[in-house]
Amino acid sequence: MTFWLNRNMNKLNWRVIFNMIGYALLALSALMLLPVIVGLLNKEYVPLRAFAKTIVLCMALGLFLSRLKVKRNAYFARDGMIAVGLVWVGVSFFGSLPFYLSGQIPSLIDCFFETVSGFTTTGATILTDIEALSRCLLFWRSFTHWIGGMGVLVFVLAFLPKNNEHTMYIMRAEVPGPTISKLVSRLKTTAMILYGLYMALSVIELIFLLAGGMPLFDALCNTFGTAGTGGFAIYGASIGAYHSVYVDVVITVFMFLFGVNFNMYFFLILRDIRPIFRNEELRWYFGIVFGAIVLVTINILGMYDSVPEAVRYASFQVVSIITTTGYATADFNLWPTLSKMILFFLMVVGACAGSTGGGIKVTRLMIVLKKIKLNIQKLWHPHKVEAIMVDSKIVNKETVDQIMAFFGAWMIIIAAATLIVALDNFDFTTTLTSVYTCLGNVGPGLGLCGPSGSFAMFSGLSKIVLSVCMLLGRLEIYPILIFLFPMFNRQRRLLERRRTDTL
Cα 450 to Cα 297, 350, 437, distances in angstroms: 20, 18, 10
Residues 227, 202 contacting (CB under 8 angstroms) = yes
- Predicted confidence at residue 331, as pLDDT, reads 93
DSSP reduced 3-state for 393: strand
Give phi and psi for 394, each to the nearest 5.
-75, 130
* Residues paired with 393 in a beta bridge: 390
Residue among 413, 424, 416, 474 at smallest CA distance from 449: 424
- Predicted confidence at residue 496, as pLDDT, reads 44
Mean pLDDT of 312-326: 97
Residue 249 pLDDT exceeds 90: yes
Find which of 5-9, 46-50, 76-80 is predicted with most confidence, using mean pLDDT. 46-50
DSSP reduced 3-state for 395: coil
Q: How far is CA 491 from the centre of its chain?
A: 30
Residue 358 pLDDT exceeds 60: yes
Mean pLDDT of the chain: 87
d(CA 195, CA 158) in angstroms, rounded, equals 7
In 57-212, where do the E strands start and end?
A: none
For 304-317, write each residue's pLDDT tens digit.
999 999 999 999 99
Residue 224 pLDDT exceeds 80: yes
DSSP reduced 3-state for 465: helix
- Predicted confidence at residue 495, as pLDDT, reads 41
d(CA 120, CA 180) in angstroms, rounded, equals 19
Residue among 72, 280, 65 at smallest CA distance from 164: 72
Which residue ranges make up each domain of the chain? 14-247, 275-502
For 365-390, write each residue's pLDDT tens digit.
999 999 998 888 888 877 776 788 88
d(CA 211, CA 205) in angstroms, rounded, equals 10
- Predicted confidence at residue 499, as pLDDT, reads 38
Find which of 57-66, 480-489, 490-499 is predicted with most confidence, using mean pLDDT. 57-66
- Predicted confidence at residue 45, as pLDDT, reads 94
> Containing H/E element for 390?
strand 389-390
For 386-439, write each residue's pLDDT tens digit.
788 888 888 888 888 889 988 999 999 999 999 999 999 999 999 999 999 999
Residue among 122, 101, 110, 119 at smallest CA distance from 45: 101
Residue 502 pLDDT exceeds 50: no
- Percentage of the residues of the chain whose pLDDT score is greater than 90: 64
Residues 469, 481 contacting (CB under 8 angstroms) = no
Give the residue with greater pLDDT, 368 vs 495: 368
DSSP classification of residue 32: T
Give the residue with greater pLDDT, 185 vs 461: 461
Q: Is 396 left (phi over 0), alpha (psi -120 to 50) or beta?
A: beta
- Predicted confidence at residue 186, as pLDDT, reads 60
Mean pLDDT of 81-91: 89
d(CA 360, CA 116) in angstroms, rounded, equals 19
Residue 101 pLDDT exceeds 80: yes
For 31-76, write each residue's pLDDT tens digit.
999 999 999 999 999 999 999 999 999 999 999 998 888 776 666 6
- Predicted confidence at residue 239, as pLDDT, reads 96
Residue 4 pLDDT exceeds 50: no
- Rounded to the nearest 10 degrees, what angle do helices 2-10 and 487-502 cross at? 180
- Predicted confidence at residue 3, as pLDDT, reads 38
